[in-house]
Chains A and B, each alone.
Chain A
Amino acid sequence: MSADIFWIFLSAMLVNNFTLFYFLGLCPFLGVSGRVSTALRMGLADVFVLVVTSLVTWALNAFVLRYAPYLALISFIVVIASTVQIVEMVIHKFSPTLFRELGQFLPLITTNCAILYLAIFQTNRGYGFVEGLAFALGAGAGLTLALVLMASIREQVDLNDIPEVARGSALIFLIAGFLSLAFMGFAGLLSGA
């Protein structure tokens, strides 16, 4: 059982990386991957929202959607958005420092496709409370890893003389392609399990 949970975590983080395998959360991946420090904070905010989402999804699945499965999409969107909003207010009240670190990213993340995908995936695969938590933590770690890797590469690239035609998003996509290629190497991990 504990081995299963470890594999769920590892697979979400490396093998089926949300950004580099499923193309989720590309907006922040392009937008805030300029500096490593920002990328790291964005990643941590991601982990936070994903964990909240996982808990909310579990509760919705256990208590509401059993009776009305066709409401899944609408309730995920509404409930997740409002929960994140509430948590944001609570953090703002009790820990202004933490809010300054993560706050500006939280509303952005709520409308991120990674969040909705997590909720849907968790439902489709029938993950329970603990598995869902492991999945959310793995997905968050994977997003953070991809963001930080990308930011580190871009900090180096900024120092180089790039042909003007390749500057901007074209170059970022090509770099992301190579990162994605590298991450495909992790696919062997799962067959070994």
Chain B
Amino acid sequence: MSQHLHGSGTRGVGPGSVLTRGIWKENPVFVHVMGLCPALAVTNSVRNGLAMGLATAFVLMGSSIFVSALRKVIPHAVRISTYVLIVATFVTVVDLFMQATVPTVSKALGPFVYLIVVNCIILGRHEAFASKNPIGRSFLDATGTSVGFTIALLMMGGVRELLGSGSLLGVKVTPAGFEPWVVMALPPGGFFTIGFILLALNAWRRRRARSDRSVRELMNPVTRTERAA
């Protein structure tokens, strides 16, 4: 979790950045490699990934408001257990709501809705941000992180549903001759998908770092000649 404590020195960060950084630059799944149980377990289709993303978003946003509002009341020694209690309350709400309104999705996600309680993204954001910042900023931070998490789930779900069953959101999109890679919808496919996404991100980041360096090297001679002149 120590990786994710970047929120401590956030005084100088503007509200726009608080909202947007969780979406991609500090994406909880792809950059911090957190919240993996749900990211892998329920993403065999886009629909399940979306439902899980929205449920987690509701819990994270709601509980962040509470944690932030109570941040001066909660004693330091029992803060984690207090956060867990707040989160568990919201998860119970989401679970009952989903059972009542979308029973098929609720059945597909099964016990993984409960596991939102132990999603380390949520506790990480509370500990790193909501417990030190006013309600408005905490809500923005929670919203950004939730969007980032949902995007990650959609990407995973998209890849796995497309390759594993040849469809997207239940609609067949591949040509008739396409043989679905069944393994992608099964557990190993989850590991392979996240592995390859991380691999691609690594390669992309390295390439960008290298081009940054070459740009700097190109700039340097120019400044030197200017100084000489």
Partner of A78, one of B81, B123, B195: B81
Q: Which stretch, B146-154, B196-204, B216-224, touches the partner chain A?
A: B196-204
Question: Which residues of A lie under 8 Å from residue B194 when comparing CB positions?
Answer: 173
Whether the Cβ atoms of B188 and A178 lie closer than 8 Å is yes
Partner of A180, one of B95, B123, B187: B187
Partner of A165, one of B119, B195, B206: B206
Judge whether A176 is part of the interface by a CB distance below 8 angstroms.
yes
Known: A23-B190, A180-B188, A180-B191. A113 touches B37 (CB 8 A): yes
Partner of A26, one of B40, B85, B88, B203: B40
Helix, strand, loop or mixed for chain B's interface?
helix
Whether the Cβ atoms of B85 and A184 lie closer than 8 Å is no
Question: Which residues of A lie under 8 Å from residue B117 when comparing CB positions?
Answer: 73, 77, 116
B41, B191, B198, B199 — most chain A CB neighbours (10 Å): B191
Question: Which residues of A lie under 8 Å from residue B199 when comparing CB positions?
Answer: 165-166, 170, 174
A6-47: contact bitstring with B at CB < 8 Å (1 yes, 0 no)?
000000000000001111111100100000000000000000
Q: Which stretch, A50-58, A88-96, A117-125, A134-142, touches the partner chain B?
A: A117-125
Question: Which residues of A lie under 8 Å from residue B89 when comparing CB positions?
Answer: 74
Whether the Cβ atoms of A173 and B188 lie closer than 8 Å is no
Interface residues of A in 73-132 (CB under 8 A from B): 73-74, 77-78, 81, 111-113, 116-117, 120-121, 124
Interface residues of A in 157-193 (CB under 8 A from B): 164-166, 168-174, 176-178, 180-181, 184
A25 vs B114: C-alpha distance when bound (angstroms):
15
B133-158: contact bitstring with A at CB < 8 Å (1 yes, 0 no)?
00000000000000000000000000
Judge whether A63 is part of the interface by a CB distance below 8 angstroms.
no
Partner of A24, one of B37, B188, B190: B37
Beta-carbon nearest neighbor of B118 in chain A: A113
Whether the Cβ atoms of A73 and B33 lie closer than 8 Å is no
A188 vs B8: C-alpha distance when bound (angstroms):
50
A23 vs B114: C-alpha distance when bound (angstroms):
15
Whether the Cβ atoms of B81 and A74 lie closer than 8 Å is no
A111 vs B37: C-alpha distance when bound (angstroms):
13
B96-107: contact bitstring with A at CB < 8 Å (1 yes, 0 no)?
100000000000
Whether the Cβ atoms of A169 and B114 lie closer than 8 Å is no
Whether the Cβ atoms of A26 and B111 lie closer than 8 Å is no
Partner of A166, one of B189, B191, B202: B202
Question: Which residues of B lie under 8 Å from residue A81 when comparing CB positions?
Answer: 81, 84
B206-220: contact bitstring with A at CB < 8 Å (1 yes, 0 no)?
100000000000000
Whether the Cβ atoms of A165 and B202 lie closer than 8 Å is yes
Known: A22-B41, A169-B198. A77 touches B88 (CB 8 A): yes
A24 vs B37: C-alpha distance when bound (angstroms):
6
Whether the Cβ atoms of B111 and A74 lie closer than 8 Å is no
Question: Which residues of B lie under 8 Å from residue A171 when comparing CB positions?
Answer: 195
- In the complex, how many angstroms separate the beta carbon of B89 from the nearest chain A beta carbon? 7
Question: Which residues of A lie under 8 Å from residue B91 when comparing CB positions?
Answer: 73
Partner of B92, one of A70, A169, A170: A70
